[in-house]
Amino acid sequence: MGFGYMEGTCGKCGEKTREPGNAFAYGSPIRFCPKCKQEYLDRRWREVAVQGFDPKSTSVAYYAKAFLILFAITALSGGWLYYTMHFKGYYYTMVVAIVIVCAIACVACLGLMVWIALGFAAKSNAKYLAESERRMRNPEYVKKLQACGYVIPAKYLAETLGTPQE
């Protein structure tokens, strides 16, 4: 899934932060502030070994529904635009903007549906899960997550802290 930047604020000193991230913010919720040199919790980040994947990241149906809604809005707005231009002799700039934005969003939904259907999302998610499981092998990290209120699956407790599995 797409990469970009996550902007936030350090939970300790309030410094604005900007760091590379992915569309669903998969990664460690324990972040490091470059200014105050302290760790802080940012719950926007999702530790997939603990919290699982965002359901939207693997759902063709979600994007199909969004596509249908956006397509309907595009068609209705386009119809209104056509009507006003050809029968009234004017048009509203806002309607033009709605048609353009919704058409672009329809194409994006189609792209995401293909991305998921062809298995690229699953491949990407497998990479994020492997990274997450590597972090979960670190007992210090697991203890930090527990201290922050995360419920750690028994599998990782057994592997890292020697706790018997249920």
- For the chain, the average pLDDT equals 91
Q: Can you give the three-state secondary structure of the chain, one letter per residue?
A: CCEEEEEEECCCCCCEEEEEEECCCECCCEEECCCCCCEEECCCCECHHHHCCCHHHHCHHHHHHHHHHHHHHHHHHHHHHHHHHHHHCCCCHHHHHHHHHHHHHHHHHHHHHHHHHCCHHHHHHHHHHHHHHHHHCCHHHHHHHHHCCCCCCHHHHHHHHCCCCC
Instruction: For the full predicted model, state whether its pTM sits above 0.85.
Output: no
Q: What is the pLDDT of residue 164?
A: 52
Residue 87 has pLDDT above 70, yes or no: yes
**What does the domain layout of the chain look like in residue ranges?**
1-52, 57-117
Question: How does pLDDT run across 91-117, given as a tens digit for each residue?
Answer: 999 999 999 999 999 999 999 999 999
